[in-house]
Structure 1
Amino acid sequence: MAPVFVLVHGAGSNSYGWAPVLAELGLRGHKAVAVDLPGHGRGAYYPASYQTPQNLEGLRTEPSPLGKVTLDDFAEHVVGVVRRASRLGAVVLVGQSMGGVTLNAVANRVPELVSHLVYASAFCPTGHASAAQLMAAPEASSSALLRLERVATPPGLGVDRVNWRSGDPAFFATAKDALAADWPDDAVRALIATLEPDESAAIGKADARGLPEKWGRVPRTFLRFTRDHSIPLALQDLMIREADAATPHNRFRVRSLAAPHAGPRDPAVWADELELAAGACR
């Protein structure tokens, strides 16, 4: 069956981030859909205090609907998309960054509906239970995400909040380092303008381990971004090793790309890699 690509975004992002890749895949004749996870995209919440002029004190305390969203909500939504997509072809499920935990959760639920999993420098907990545990590992110690300033919201709010509209040059420098250190400043500003301030704090803390008897049945590819300053190469390699140890009979197919956390700027490079992954599952 011809592949159907289902693309899952990372934390604080949305389906728009996949738009250039969707266009390239479509021009090559592929079926592809980018998912907006619950509370993202058209369903995103932008605090009133986040708007211009910003109310920084209000931004620290303003509640968000995302505070009630769980990994189960993400998985249930994507499973629904995968069920529909599987009627059209062999589903290649792709996740970037935090989107990887949703891939694990979906593959744990419906491994029979997924032909291939693609982790684009994405979290893939197996030996460590969660993305948060992985980020606490020594291999993550150089991550620029650990230096990126967050809004100090109360724990009860249940959200991780970033003020992407900050005018602080130091914030921009760290954000650029985290997302795309080798991109021009204008390209980084355009990328930041697409990001959303809130993410459910529950996602990174959730037990998202791939289960060998479920997730472990699905062939998988890891796109290893060698210039990623958010999920350092050492952490990517740790996840690959732990996943391969969990299912030695079904190891990652690894591809290394000279790309930052945001991925290759050229959508043709993305499409080439996804086509290779789709070919590997036939």
Structure 2
Amino acid sequence: MSTYVLVPGAGGSAWFWHLLVPELEARGHEVIAVDLPAADESAGLTEYADTIVEAIGDRTEVILVAQSMGGLSAPLVCTRVPVALLVLLNAMVPVPGETGGAWWANTGQAQAMAEQAAREGRELPAEFDPEDCFFHDVAPEVTAEAFARGEDSQSDRALEEPWPLEKWPDTPTVFLQGRDDRLFPLPFQRRVVRERLNIPVDDMPGGHLVALSRPKELADRLEAYRIRHIGPNVS
């Protein structure tokens, strides 16, 4: 049996994974969705990694899945505990010494997002609209539940700290991108990941929140990665 450890993006809420968890459990795996201390102004990337490491405990055959901002903290975990596979999902990929706040300008994210909107014949809202950017392909009932929960707080500290690793960990790493992501468009991610990790970017239907919009398809893709990199046996 493999253990999937799921790391959320900004806001740090394990709720993001609540539709994916039963899909993976039904396939015979242990699944741990991590709540990060994102609202804690004293918590930075090290504390996020501490939380993930504590959740993993002494488990082995761990598949670590990191969504969006989770790409900043998950690699730190790989230097501290055995991780069989790191799956980056619509993720930020930092370089040594770069802050999460600087990542946006350094990578040209704003221009890429505007160019993607133009290709699709969309106009970007004058002010950032999370429903338009994140929930455009999420079922209305799931979107309603998300907004009823309220916005998860995200402190600035984790975005202000320089990324502490000197290089990317040696852990086998794959990158999966939603091809309908409006925040991190697929062409943008292909460029950034090629420049920073020199690995291919796989893609699947869905926007930035594929765990909410396409949990079954995402589980299928994760299982394909598991079989390819770890093996097919589930006990």
> Quick check: TM above 0.5?
yes
How does the TM-score come out when normalised to structure 1?
A: 0.69
SS of alignment partner, residue 12 of structure 1: coil
CA deviations over 1:124-165 (Å, ceiling 9, x no partner): 2127723322211353014779xxxxxxxxxxxxxxxxxxxx
* Of 178, 185, 197, the match for 1:225: 178
Determine whether 1:137 maps to 2:92.
Answer: no
Deviation at 1:182, TM superposition (A): 3.3
SS of alignment partner, residue 74 of structure 2: helix
Trace 1:114-263 onto structure 2 (pairs within 5 A).
114-126=83-95, 129-137=98-106, 139-142=108-111, 174-183=129-138, 186-208=141-163, 211-212=166-167, 215-245=168-198, 252=199, 254-263=201-210
The alpha-carbon distance between structure 1 residues 192 and 38, as it changes in their structure 2 partners (threshold 3 A), is same
Q: Point out the structure with max Rg over C-alpha.
A: 1
- State the alpha-carbon separation in 2 of the partners of residues 37 and 259 from structure 1: 24
Q: Decide which moves more: 101-110 or 267-276.
A: 101-110
- State the alpha-carbon separation in 2 of the partners of residues 141 and 197 from structure 1: 23
The alpha-carbon distance between structure 1 residues 268 and 179, as it changes in their structure 2 partners (threshold 3 A), is same
Residue 117 of structure 2 is matched in structure 1 by: none
* Of 99, 105, 118, the match for 2:76: 105
- State the alpha-carbon separation in 1 of the partners of residues 4 and 188 from structure 2: 26
* Same amino acid, percent of matched pairs: 28
SS of alignment partner, residue 22 of structure 1: helix
**Could you list the runs of 5+ residues in structure 1 that have no partner in the other structure?**
40-44, 46-65, 146-168, 246-251
The alpha-carbon distance between structure 1 residues 183 and 196, as it changes in their structure 2 partners (threshold 3 A), is closer
Residue 62 of structure 2 is matched in structure 1 by: 91
Determine whether 1:278 maps to 2:233.
Answer: no
Q: How many residues align?
A: 219
**Could you list the runs of 5+ residues in structure 2 that have no partner in the other structure?**
115-124, 231-235
Deviation at 1:5, TM superposition (A): 0.4
The alpha-carbon distance between structure 1 residues 16 and 5, as it changes in their structure 2 partners (threshold 3 A), is same
SS of alignment partner, residue 134 of structure 2: helix
Deviation at 1:75, TM superposition (A): 0.8
Deviation at 1:27, TM superposition (A): 1.1
Report the AA paired with residue 107 of structure 1: C
Report the AA paired with residue 169 of structure 2: G
- State the alpha-carbon separation in 2 of the partners of residues 174 and 144 from structure 1: 13
The alpha-carbon distance between structure 1 residues 142 and 33, as it changes in their structure 2 partners (threshold 3 A), is same
How does the TM-score come out when normalised to structure 2?
A: 0.81
